[in-house]
Amino acid sequence: MTEYSAAQQEALNEFKLDIGHLNALSNANRQKLIMLLGEVSGDRGIKVNDLAEKTGLSQPATSHHLKTLRDIGMVDSRQVGNVVYYYLTLDDTIARLERLTRALRRQSQGL
């Protein structure tokens, strides 16, 4: 079994905690959705059909990707009548990536 330094173990632990976010970010279609949602200010949001049209994905595929992003807290939605609007909620994701980056820096510096 490999012995890890404290910094390496910290980086590994952060990676394990953030694997869901990293997997979500690794998909090109979800990256497109994040970029499109980033163009919309605040929680105004954008409809799934509009996102599907802009990405070239089917509505079910778009909904699937939005669900993945919502499950990890990168996207949220609000309903107005029968219409659902999706928007970014990046605070937690940014904090996670910053923690992971700090841990990786400490590990690479041997701290």
Q: State the pLDDT at residue 102.
A: 82
Full DSSP string of 1-59: -----HHHHHHHHHHHHTHHHHHHHT-HHHHHHHHHHHTS-TT--EEHHHHHHHHT--H
Alpha-carbon separation of residue 96 from 44, 62, 69 (angstroms):
24, 25, 14
User: Residue 75, SS3?
Assistant: strand
Q: pLDDT by residue (tens digit) across 53-106?
A: 999 999 999 999 999 999 888 899 999 999 999 998 877 777 777 887 887 788
CA–CA separation, 18 and 41 (whole Å): 26
Q: pLDDT-derived band of residue 107, with 50, 70 and 90 as boundaries?
A: confident
In this prediction, residues 1-21 reach a mean pLDDT of 80
Whether the pLDDT of residue 111 is over 70: the answer is no
pTM over 0.85: no
